[in-house]
Amino acid sequence: MKPDTILVLDFGGQYAHLISRRIRENGVYSEVVSFGISYDDISNLSEKFNVKGLILSGGPSSVYDQGSPKISRSILESKLPMLGLCYGHQLLSYVFGGNIKKASKKEFGHTLAQITKPIAILNKLNRTEKVWMSHGDTVYSMPSEFETLATTDNCPVAAFRHKVKPIFGIQWHPEVAHTVNGNLILKNFIFDICKCENNWQPTNFIKSAINEIKQTVGNEKAIIGLSGGIDSSTTALLASKALGKNLVAVFVDHGFMREGETEEIKKIFKNSGINLIIADAKKQFLTKLKGVKDPEEKRKVIGNEFIKVFEKIAEKVKATYLLQGTIYPDRIESGSTANADKIKTHHNVGGLPSKMKFKKIVEPLRDLYKDEVRNVAEELSMPINMARRQPFPGPALAVRIIGEVTEEKLIIVKKADKIVREEIEKSNLTGNLWQYFAILTDTKTTGVKGDSRAYGYTVAIRAVESKEAMTANFAKLPYEVLEKISTRITNEIPEVSRVVYDVTHKPPSTIEWE
């Protein structure tokens, strides 16, 4: 059965993908598509999805900027319900003849909205609502076929609707948690206006993903690089259901895994019935990374070596397809979705060499967010400690050693990471944490150990709370736990003379240091 679907037209806003996530959380399928999509494109999509409505995301442009993204006429003329948010709100106003100007003041952060008409998308809202704004341009008036539903001090038309057609605009961001009743607005749109059914679960995806893999790979063989992380492990389980013995999983032991992890992965996968090959490539990776300091270069080198190992084994086992555990945020941050800026090359996306020897790369999880992948993993009966394990980057500890990766530094970061994990897990703090780990910085500082001077490494601790890794807050860990970690690291690792705690959110920082 085709799922009822809301398409989010991406105008380049940092929250475009959050909108889609929020809709999925309400049990309705959603995809992010390029702003330039035409009605014909949507009709083509209707083979797979029952498109019931469109949300126009925010974006950094002004509708008056030259070349600013616009919406296709064919879509405007369609009967599909449409909700514009922020830039989307301004754009709908612009194309329908509203009056938009630069606001006297740029509005950013919390604002109180006066809900003058709590109807349609604003149904059941209070007369005054705490909302979150981030905009420069403002809609001052709309033509007579529209009516204003809400205002703020700076926005005379903070929300509008067409009097007859299902067209709506809201200046604020209902998708961010700071807008108190944001989800109510999204629900009003998707259920009352678009009449979607809430019958989508990430686990519905299992059947279609297995089919997709079967159809793409056919009777040929496919290979998957197993990192031991949740994404590649889930992909392997899906692919094994689709391909059986025609799937070959390769665990590349590059030597950058956390302490004890390689053994654990070998154990779990050897028991799962998956055709597993373990490739010992520790020396090869370290040699190739010699002298490489730049993080992007590191990712590329690692991506290249991975592929070389794969290609060799693929040739041996005669595999023609490569499966990867790429998920949605990897694609967004590697700049491979429309309009998003490149933040860093996730090794399993942009780090790949351009001339692959495989017929195709298959990425069944490409549209899922991490916690959706976890649900799928549990549904596939992945052991709970595996399904709930904290995310770990593909290039592994190599991107947690700032600067050149050496054998000595690997030993240090592994020990420090083990201590961080042990202390946080012992304190029962893991429930709220997305990730917690150690980074070996390239800064050496003076210390004093016993009665003598020590000149050693600085280890940084990072612990963050997050829902989907797109944004994150540093965790306010109790001082006692930080103290325990710091004391143990400096006592147990003689090469380290200082421990610091990273107190930066994402943005502006990313979660990993490189």
Which residue ranges make up the site for ligand XMP (CB under 6 A)? Answer: 299, 330, 333, 344, 346-348, 391, 393-395, 435, 469, 506, 510-512
d(Cα 194, Cα 80) in Å, to the nearest integer? 8
Nearer of residues 484 and 505 to ligand XMP, judged by Cβ: 505
Nearer of residues 240 and 435 to ligand XMP, judged by Cβ: 435
Angle between helices 205-217 and 370-379 (to 10 degrees): 90
Nearer of residues 20 and 334 to ligand XMP, judged by Cβ: 334
Least distance to ligand XMP from the beta carbon of 378, Å?
Answer: 19
SS (H, E, C) 55-85: EECCCCCCCCCCCCCCCCHHHHCCCCCEEEE
Least distance to ligand XMP from the beta carbon of 506, Å?
Answer: 5
The verdict on whether 196 is a catalytic residue reads: no
Q: Which residue type, as a one-letter code, is found at position 374?
A: R
Tokens 């030597």 locate to 255
Nearer of residues 305 and 330 to ligand XMP, judged by Cβ: 330
CB count within 10 Å of CB 403 equals 16
Least distance to ligand XMP from the beta carbon of 333, Å?
Answer: 5
Least distance to ligand XMP from the beta carbon of 464, Å?
Answer: 9
Least distance to ligand XMP from the beta carbon of 470, Å?
Answer: 8
Among the listed residues 107, 175, 363, 495, the single catalytic one is: 175
Query: Could you give the residue ranges of the DSSP H alpha helices within 96-196?
Result: 182-187
Please give the radius of gyration of the chain, using alpha carbons only, rounded to the nearest integer. 25
Nearer of residues 76 and 429 to ligand XMP, judged by Cβ: 429
Burial of 380 (0-12, 13-18, 19+ CB in 10 A): middle
Burial of 258 (0-12, 13-18, 19+ CB in 10 A): buried
The verdict on whether 263 is a catalytic residue reads: no
Least distance to ligand XMP from the beta carbon of 393, Å?
Answer: 3
DSSP string, 6-27: EEEEE-S-TTHHHHHHHHHHTT
Q: CA nearest 391: which of 509, 470, 317? A: 470
Helix (H, G, I), strand (E, B) or coil at 401: strand
Least distance to ligand XMP from the beta carbon of 123, Å?
Answer: 36
Nearer of residues 137 and 330 to ligand XMP, judged by Cβ: 330
How far CA 405 is from CA of 75, 167, 286, 493, in Å, comes to 52, 55, 7, 18
d(Cα 24, Cα 20) in Å, to the nearest integer? 6
Least distance to ligand XMP from the beta carbon of 189, Å?
Answer: 29
Nearer of residues 58 and 350 to ligand XMP, judged by Cβ: 350
Tokens 């996730």 locate to 346
Nearer of residues 374 and 488 to ligand XMP, judged by Cβ: 374
Cβ proximity of 39 and 65 under 8 Å: no
Q: Checking phi first, is residue 262 left (phi over 0); if not, alpha (psi -120 to 50) or beta? A: alpha
CB count within 10 Å of CB 241 equals 16
Among the listed residues 173, 254, 346, 347, the single catalytic one is: 173
Least distance to ligand XMP from the beta carbon of 394, Å?
Answer: 3
Judge if the upstream peptide bond of residue 391 is cis by omega within 30 degrees of 0: no
d(Cα 85, Cα 398) in Å, to the nearest integer? 40
Nearer of residues 68 and 348 to ligand XMP, judged by Cβ: 348
Least distance to ligand XMP from the beta carbon of 334, Å?
Answer: 8
The verdict on whether 175 is a catalytic residue reads: yes
d(Cα 267, Cα 249) in Å, to the nearest integer? 14
Nearer of residues 187 and 400 to ligand XMP, judged by Cβ: 400
d(Cα 319, Cα 220) in Å, to the nearest integer? 7
Cα dihedral value 18, 23, 29, 32, nearest 10: -30
Tokens 């390239």 locate to 442
Which residues are catalytically annotated? 86, 173, 175
